[in-house]
Amino acid sequence: MTVSTSSPIETQKDALLGEPLPTAAEPTSGRRPHFTAANSLAVAMALSLSAGYLDGFTFVGHGHSFASAMTGNMVLLGINLAALTPEALGNLYPLIAFVFGVISANLLLRKGVRSHLPFSPHFTTLLIEIAVLAGVAFLPGTVDDHILVAVVTVSTAMQNTSFRNIGTRTYNSVIMTGNLQAFSNSLAVGVWPGEAAAREQVRDLGAILTSFVVGAALGAVATPRFGNHATLAPAALLAVVAVALIFSSDDESVFRKA
C-alpha cells in the first residue's frame, strides 16, 4: 500500500490546478507532453476571440440569444419562462443546438469515423465552422433568428469540444465561466505559495478571457453595421488559423488521427 506524503500546500495546489505536474519523485513512464500548433496559446486566443464575437453577433442582431454562452441562455430561458413569454423558445433552441454540436464533435473522435477523415478531427471541426460562418454571412435577413443562432451554436459547440488544451492544460474556447474559475484558482496559488505553473496559467487564461471580451465588443459593433455579413470576420480569422496549422512545422495538427 502506498502512503501519500503530500504536504498541505501540495494538496491545495493539486485541488486548484487539477492534475499535478510530474516531479523527480514521480516518473512519467517515458511519456512526455504532446505539443502541437493546435494547442498553442495563439490558437486558443483566436478561437476565444471568435466565440466572443459570435456571442456579440447573435445577441445584438438575432433575438438576444448567445451562440457560445450557454449559461446566459439558461438564465434568459428561466426568466422568460417565469414571465410566460414566447421568447423562451429563442433561448431553448441554442441549448439544444449546443448539445447536438458536442455530440457531433465527439462522433468525429470515434475510431470508426476519424479513420475515414482526410484531416484530424479537430481540423475537420475547424473547417466545418469556417464553412458555417461563411454560409451564414450570405443568408438573407428574412431567415428566422432561431434557425440562424442554432446553426452558429452547433459550430461553436464543436469548436469547444475539439480544442481543449493549451499545451498540457485544459481550457474552454467558448465557455468562459470555467476559465474564470481556473484563472482565479491559479491566481490564488500563484500568489501563495508562489507556484510558477500557476502564474503561467494566470497569464494564459487571462489572455483567453481578454480575447473573448474583445471579440464580444467587436461583434456587437460590427453586427448593426454589416448584418449577417459580420460573420465573415470570424470566418476569416479561423481561416488564418487553419492556414497557420497547415504551414506549421508540426503537421500533426492537421493530419494526426490519433
Distance CA 211, CA 234 (A): 13
Q: How many residues does the chain have?
A: 258
Residue 164 maps to a domain: yes
pLDDT category, 36, cuts 50, 70, 90? confident
Choose among 215, 198, 222: nearest CA to 17: 198
- CB of 198 within 8 A of CB of 28? no
Residue 80 lies in a domain: yes
> Residue 169's pLDDT is what?
87
For 138, the domain range is: 37-255
Is 204 within a domain?
yes
Q: How many domains does the chain have?
A: 1
Q: What is the pTM of this model?
A: 0.83
pLDDT of residue 28: 40
Identify whether 65 is part of a domain. yes
Q: What is the per-residue pLDDT across 214-246, written as a single tens digit (0 to 9) for each?
A: 999 999 999 999 999 999 999 999 999 999 888
Q: What is the pLDDT of residues 101-155, one digit of tens each?
A: 999 999 998 888 888 888 888 899 999 999 999 999 999 989 999 999 999 999 9
CATH number for the domain harbouring residue 174: 1.20.1250
User: Which of 243, 55, 15 lies closest to 160 in space, CA to CA?
Assistant: 55
In a domain, 26, yes or no: no
Residue 19 lies in a domain: no
Contact by Cβ (8 Å): 218, 224 = no
Which residues have CB under 8 Å from 193's CB, separation 6+? 9, 13
CA distance 71 to 88: 14
pLDDT at 197: 83
Which residues make Cβ contacts (< 8 Å) with residue 180, sequence separation at least 6? 205, 209
Question: Cell 498553442 belongs to which residue?
Answer: 40
DSSP string, 16-31: HHSSPPP-TTS--TT-
pLDDT tier for residue 88 given thresholds of 50, 70 and 90:
confident
Residue 29 within any structural domain of the chain? no
Instruction: With respect to residue 21, please indicate whether it lies within any of the assigned structural domains.
Output: no
